[in-house]
Amino acid sequence: MDFLREIALKTADLIKRSGKTLALTGAGISTESGIPDYRSKGTGLWEKYDPMSKASLSALISDPVEFYNFNLPRWIKYANAEPNTAHRVLAKMEEKNFIRGVITQNIDGLHIKAGSRNVWEVHGHLRTCRCMGCNHKYDFSEAVRQFEDGIVPPKCKTCGGILRPDVVLFEDPMSSDYYRALEALEGCELLIVVGSSLQVYPVADMPYLARQMVIINKEPTTFDSRAAVTAHCKAGEFFEELASILKI
């Protein structure tokens, strides 16, 4: 029996024994959809740039032109990406009641595109944006349209204030989804962590709220020794194997 099938069998057994299972996903689950992650050694975005100077609230306020020129082309790619095998299998696992839902650190919306219904986007999303002046809401496409028309930063049509995406920037308070995710974790017997380095707080504290963990991540995490199952592999390969075992 090869290693991948062995860990998938162990995970399937844990899922079947669990009374309440949730998934927690990070940037690593979306790399197979063409979205680079943030913290992989040598390639992660925050290995090359200081996130506080590029993706913080103070960066947006102090230099909104640079903020948008740096972030929006990347965010447009995120918004146009398509779900991969791991996203689709998690959606099917929810449909078949193997998991209760997905807590995600990602802003790409791929879990929702894949068909997951219970999704807690703890760092926000790229479906909408809002005016920093009057708080008027817009579809994210409005910010994209203005940016592509050379209006940088995008402006509110009502008051002329700067638009900002509904994502959690560095220095922002956590989203309401974060607190709903904490409630969802009450009584969690198994947490399947996928593609997260578990380095970003406060989300990195969430595994402590589950009785057991499975960790699927290409690189080791500080929680590996606490996990019932750990695999350093591509998420898509693991979930393809898991789906065949669960017959979904």
Under DSSP, is residue 220 helix (H, G, I), strand (E, B) or coil? Answer: coil
Q: Are 76 and 196 within one domain?
A: no
Q: Are 26 and 136 within one domain?
A: no
> What does the alpha-carbon distance between residue 75 and residue 25 come to, in Å, rounded to a whole number?
18
Q: What is the pLDDT of residues 189-213, one digit of tens each?
A: 999 999 999 998 999 999 999 999 9
Q: Are 23 and 145 within one domain?
A: no
Average pLDDT over residues 169-177: 96
Burial of 234 (0-12, 13-18, 19+ CB in 10 A): buried
Q: Are 246 and 192 in contact (CB under 8 A)?
A: no
pLDDT value at 41 more than 90:
no
Q: Are 182 and 222 within one domain?
A: yes
State the pLDDT at residue 52.
85
For residue 52, CA distances in Å to 48, 67, 108, 248 come to 12, 11, 20, 42
pLDDT value at 19 more than 70:
yes
CATH code, domain with 65: 3.30.1600.10
Query: What is the tally of structural domains in the chain?
Result: 2
CATH code, domain with 201: 3.40.50.1220
Please, which pLDDT band fits residue 45 given cuts at 50, 70 and 90? low
State the pLDDT at residue 185.
98
Structure tokens of 86? 């791991």
Q: Which of 87, 123, 125, 136 is catalytic?
A: 123
Any catalytic annotation for residue 232?
no
Q: Are 101 and 179 within one domain?
A: yes
Q: What is the pLDDT of residues 84-97, one digit of tens each?
A: 999 999 999 999 99
* Confidence (pTM): 0.93
Between residues 36 and 35, which one has the greater pLDDT?
35
Range of the domain at 98: 1-35+83-123+174-248
pLDDT value at 39 more than 70:
no
